[in-house]
Amino acid sequence: METLRRLILLFVGLSIYVGCSDVNFQVVPSATCDEFNDQGGVCHHGEDGFNTYNIEFKTGKVDILFVVDNSGSMWIEQTQMANKFPYLLDKIADLDYQIAITTTDVENDQGRFLLFPNGAPYLTTATHGNNLDWFRETIQRDETLVCDSNNYEEAFCPSNDERGIYAVNLALDHPENSSFFRDSATLHVVFLSDEDERGVGRGSRTYPFEAYDEPSTLISKIRDQLGITKAAQFHAVTVAPGDEACLVKQYVYPANTSWPIKGREGKVYAELVSPSSSLLSMGNILPGVQGSICAKDYGAQLGEIGDDMKIKPIQLPCEPRDGEVSIVYDRFPDINIDYSLSDTDMLTIHSMPPEHTKVRIQFNCPIYL
């Protein structure tokens, strides 16, 4: 027994010796820094244990994608959106904006942008004077009216498998859409639907979820394709989760049938509007506006969405040292800048200078071993 005890002590002693011996650790440059440089940013590997990141952009850029449910039950809601669109357009009149529309019908439209009356796939600030009329003509879908006018008979209707999130994922896949998703522009997506993803949401055997129906897939895709500093905000004009009164109003009884067409709560869309801590931890997303498809006047909620578009969020690729970020406006170098930094390193600048002002952001992050 004494011999065994001595052997154990000898082993422990050798372990401590080895553990205390000199070991040469190699500092590995942060993969985030390299990725940042590969995407056109500027990051320098420092010798003090910190990387220095520099971001430059001009203010006022927003890219807005409307995803409209074009099924037969949506004509009234499309008209509401068309009539109250000035409430949003007035809010963004001073911004450098682009507006595109696609539908929840991925079987036919496949995430492609609808063409406006001028033949363009998206509206821009350059055509601001015509954009109200062109938006109204395009958001109100002829196929929706035809379906409604024919008692929702399948032969006259678009797909009733609504897949708004899937449509946005497809929109990112199309090379012809690439010019819409601009560097340094905040991406805003507005869902308009009286049903959920795949119509009924999760849990259906008839309409099982695929990867492109998942919010997490969309957030990953935004980061991978649009860059690690891209910020996206999602808004929904839907049946808000828990709004039973609104849900009942979505029941439609077509002629010659005893079966109603039902609306659904937009629970999966709400996951993007009010993201969980798990979704937020992925980065590139911040909370949006949850509207109601039953609102008597869409003006207020569109105005609220427009207010969000005037705020500039930027996803930082790492946690800044001591939470410190330097922000400078080139035309207003001495101005006091109001900003906040979230737990997920989303930097939000709350009071932006006039459009086209150059903004310089600098911060340091540790080089991880």
> pLDDT confidence of 161, banded at 50, 70, 90?
very high
Which pLDDT score, from 0 to 100, does residue 15 have?
44
Q: Give residue-wise pLDDT tens across range 344-361.
A: 999 999 888 888 899 999
Q: Within 13 Å, how many C-alpha atoms sit on residue 282's CB side?
A: 22
Alpha carbon distances (Å) from 304 to 41, 189, 300, 308? 32, 14, 6, 7
Q: Give residue-wise pLDDT tens across range 105-142.
A: 999 999 999 999 999 999 999 999 999 999 999 999 99
Residue 44 φ/ψ, nearest 5 degrees: -110, 130
> Is residue 288's pLDDT more than 50?
yes
Quick one: average pLDDT of 48-73?
94
> Is residue 305's pLDDT more than 80?
yes
A 10 A CB-CB count for 309 gives 20
pTM, rounded to two decimals: 0.88
Q: 61-311 in CATH: which number?
A: 3.40.50.410
CATH 3.40.50.410 domain extents, the chain = 61-311
Q: Give residue-wise pLDDT tens across range 207-235.
A: 999 999 999 999 999 999 999 999 999 99
| Contact status, residue 290 vs residue 236, Cβ threshold 8 Å | yes
Task: Report the candidate in 234, 231, 237 with the shortest Cα–Cα distance to residue 302.
Answer: 237
Alpha-carbon distance of 147 to 155, in angstroms, equals 9
Which pLDDT score, from 0 to 100, does residue 7 have?
43
> pLDDT confidence of 1, banded at 50, 70, 90?
very low
Is the C-alpha dihedral spanning 294, 295, 296, 302 positive or negative? negative
Which pLDDT score, from 0 to 100, does residue 331 have?
84
